Structure 1
Amino acid sequence: MTTTVAMLAALALLMGTWVATAQRAAALDPFTGYLMAHFSAEFTGGEQIFLAHSTDGLNWTDLNNGDPVVVSTVGTRGVRDPAIVRSPQGDKYWIIATDLRIASGTSWPDASERGSKSLVVWESTNLVDWSEPRLVDVAGSIPGAGDAWAPEAIYDPATGDYVVYWATNAPLNGVTKHRIYYSRTSDFRTFTPAQLYIDRPGGQGIIDTQIVESPTSVGGFRYYRASADGQITIEASNSILGTWTTIGNLSHMGITNGTGGGNVVEGPMWMPSNDGTSWTLWLDQFATGGGYMPIRSSNLGSTQNFQTVSPYNLGGTLKRHGSIMQITAAERSRVVARWGSTAVSRIQSYNFQDRYVRHTNFDVRIDPNVSPAQDGQWRIVPGLAGTGTVSFQSVNFPDHYLRHDNFDFVLARYDGTSTFRSDASFKAVAGLASSSWTSYQSYNYPDRYIRHWGYELRLDPITDATGRADATFRTVG
């Protein structure tokens, strides 16, 4: 009887695991492309979140015309080393990143010894509408912690939550250096206390680590990780927090993280192929400023299996330490529809032709000699409310759009609501004062149009010649 009960319990557990796995597998359509999240460099606007997409994993197209897609308004107001994460069901996404802005004048010693101990987190349900950024203090409980850098996350099917891991510079056993710590979370809001994950011998630090899964255990293991620890070291394990076996490094290819010279790289970034036959490891050639380079293997059981890959094209922006996520056709369609290439335009007034629509302190008006110039630059994109409309996306605040609020115009961050979509969408029609120009009719108040009044933008009914002139515009480069 005891044996029978045990067998039934084991069968139930097996069936439950199979059902959960089947549900996860069925939740996602086949992967047909790739999405890269990255930062660019230490210049104004360069330490934010950029996205690029690819169909073959080698030739990349910048989204949002190479400008940031989301920006940090918390902590240091700069972010680096983004990791993009999808839930197993494909119904939620997160971006986690280092809270660090070197462009503000912060020195590297200050950043590593007295820097932010928090990560910046965004979340989304559709990969295009992102929450406000929030800070999560992951390293504050580590004695003497100086920073929290280069976060990554991987779903752990054994526990049904995520292992988030990052580098912190802290003293331990008389040695202060960067080690990898980890925490668990199910929602990227509440995290378990930080625990030590990877510590190299002696004074050797480690900052960049990224794990990739091999579902069919090609090479003998389920998980492989690449770490920048003087070399680019490849290790393997059958569980994320279990014992890891060293496979080797890339020194035989003339690639290191500084120990022994050669091509000095950092930020290893895994990309499983969509056909399941190979893994590409992208390496950031930061020492020469060359951006990422790819090497590829069809069997991660030996580092001797890696080969260089060419040709490849990274697009128009410098791509620094990030991550790559496989995406479905539907996911790619959404990100391209939102952030595909769109020209930057200025919006010129018909009756005050030296003035252009601009935002200032998130108010919207027409002004001459707009400074800084990006305050008067817009991307006219497919309307948030749907077919036949347009929306005006800010160039220097790419998650903000022109919208009316009580018939006054503001520049506001897109909150994903239907009210916002309606308030930020307009129908482009022949200009009310000149048919060769354009007027913009409100989507949700079709008897009203965008016009200026006292140089401030409003949404009004148009009843006379002055109103028709005030409500007429054209786009220029």
Structure 2
Amino acid sequence: MLTYFRQRYPTRIEINAKGETIEVPLANPMLVAQLHIALSTDGRHWKALNDNKPIWNQFMRDQFIHRGADGLWRLIATGGGPEKHLGPSATYATSKDLINWTFNKYLYLMKDVKDESGGLVKNIWAPEFFYDEATKEYTIFWSSTFKDAGWKESRLWYSKTTDWKNFSPAKVMFAPPYSVIDGTLIKNTGVYYLFHKEEEFGVKTGERRGIRVATAKHIEGPYKNFEGALNRGQIAPTITEGPSVMKDPLKKGWLLLYDYPMVDKYGISSSADLFNWRLEKDVSMPDDARHGSVSKLTGAEAQALQTAFPNTK
């Protein structure tokens, strides 16, 4: 199952020779910031349900859905709660069947974190969670910055919970020497692989806006970057973001899914070792899909979704 929202960016942000931020208009902008679902049996060819229309009208972006340890499906997404004095929030919802969703609450995960002047962060972007069988804890992680834009000097933060009611104080999870957003995790043979987007562009740094991977022995870090360009010559220099990692259904190894936000396309690459990736050329994705997350379903669950959200075309 691929869960996603739909968007075509209205502008592309660039930095000119004077160091000024400018916005370049893009063609045919659109936004459907609600939950969409697509299904696949091979991880490479995805068919949207409900004619690629939303299956729930709750506002959200960058939604991440996984089955919890108790069997309950949990959704966490970039959202926007009404309590402005607490700063930005994440949307949290649950479902027993992936068809009927219950909005639980907005999570103000950074409400107690302030900068030197007492200011709150400007955003909570692309939250995800990872369940640890050993500690019975959920680690929630996301990107935030105190700057005036979410892509400026952004860091990955984390908080832990066992009941989704009480949360540990937010701490920095990953602070590389560049702005970082869109973190996603996979654990393999005792090692955590943190895929993320390096979000750097400017006169001094040039444009480095692609997916990288860092590893650690503990989920809290410290993480060390893999010093080798991910998908060099295949994705670079095209801008990529919103990574999601899954085991390859067809052979030993993994698949990495990501979107090309400035050209409204989606890409998939495969790897045997989580470091060296090869672009998959025979793929199909729902139109305008953005920032997907992937989960494994039973046949019965897939059939129930197709029955609940059939395609008319």
Name the TM tier (shorter chain): 0.7 to 0.9
Whether contact under 8 Å (1:122, 1:132) holds in the other structure is: yes
2:173 counterpart of 1:193: no
Q: Helix, strand or coil: the match of 1:239?
A: coil
The aligned counterpart of 1:244 is: 223
Higher strand share: 2
The aligned counterpart of 1:184 is: 160
Whether contact under 8 Å (1:96, 1:151) holds in the other structure is: yes
The one of the two structures with greater contact order (alpha-carbon pairs below 8 A, sep at least 6) is 2
1:279-315: CA deviations, max 9, x gaps?
111121012222x100110112xx3x31111211113
The aligned counterpart of 2:52 is: 66
| Equivalent-residue separation in structure 2 for 1:122 and 1:338 (angstroms) | 19
**Unaligned segments of structure 1, at least 5 residues:** 1-34, 73-77, 102-113, 257-261, 344-477
The aligned counterpart of 1:225 is: 194
The aligned counterpart of 1:348 is: none
Whether contact under 8 Å (2:270, 2:278) holds in the other structure is: yes
2:105 counterpart of 1:134: yes
What are the residue-to-residue correspondences of 1:44-443 with 2, within 5 Å?
46-72=32-58, 78-89=59-70, 91-99=71-79, 117-132=88-103, 134-143=105-114, 144-170=120-146, 177-201=153-177, 204-214=178-188, 217=189, 222-229=191-198, 230=208, 231-248=210-227, 249-250=229-230, 252-256=232-236, 262-274=237-249, 277-290=252-265, 292-300=266-274, 303=275, 305-315=276-286, 317-342=287-312
- Amino acid in the other structure paired with 1:57: G
1:147-201: CA deviations, max 9, x gaps?
1111111111231111110011126xxxx62111101122333322211111122
- Amino acid in the other structure paired with 1:234: V
Scaled by the length of structure 1, the TM-score of the pair is 0.53
- Amino acid in the other structure paired with 2:215: A
- Amino acid in the other structure paired with 2:124: A
- Amino acid in the other structure paired with 1:84: I
Alignment: residue pair count: 271
Q: Name the % identity.
A: 26
- Amino acid in the other structure paired with 2:277: F
| Equivalent-residue separation in structure 1 for 2:221 and 2:124 (angstroms) | 23
- Amino acid in the other structure paired with 1:156: D
**Unaligned segments of structure 2, at least 5 residues:** 9-28, 115-119, 199-207
Over 3 Å counting, the alpha-carbon distance change for 1:276 and 1:183 in structure 2 is farther
Which protein is bigger by CA-based radius of gyration? Answer: 1
The aligned counterpart of 2:23 is: none
Whether contact under 8 Å (1:167, 1:206) holds in the other structure is: yes
1:49-80: CA deviations, max 9, x gaps?
111111111111111221111122xxxxx311
Whether contact under 8 Å (1:155, 1:161) holds in the other structure is: yes
- Amino acid in the other structure paired with 1:273: D
Whether contact under 8 Å (2:80, 2:90) holds in the other structure is: no
| Equivalent-residue separation in structure 2 for 1:41 and 1:93 (angstroms) | 24
Whether contact under 8 Å (1:152, 1:164) holds in the other structure is: yes
Whether contact under 8 Å (1:45, 1:68) holds in the other structure is: no
Large movers: runs of 4+ above 4 Å: 42-45
| Equivalent-residue separation in structure 2 for 1:115 and 1:80 (angstroms) | 20
Over 3 Å counting, the alpha-carbon distance change for 1:157 and 1:253 in structure 2 is farther
Higher helix share: 1
- Amino acid in the other structure paired with 2:307: A
Over 3 Å counting, the alpha-carbon distance change for 1:276 and 1:125 in structure 2 is farther
1:252-280: CA deviations, max 9, x gaps?
23534xxxxx1111111112224671111
| Equivalent-residue separation in structure 2 for 1:134 and 1:128 (angstroms) | 19
Query: How big is the shift at 1:241?
Result: 1.8
Whether contact under 8 Å (1:148, 1:167) holds in the other structure is: yes
Scaled by the length of structure 2, the TM-score of the pair is 0.79
Q: Helix, strand or coil: the match of 1:121?
A: strand
| Equivalent-residue separation in structure 2 for 1:263 and 1:115 (angstroms) | 36
| Equivalent-residue separation in structure 1 for 2:30 and 2:186 (angstroms) | 32
Whether contact under 8 Å (1:156, 1:240) holds in the other structure is: no
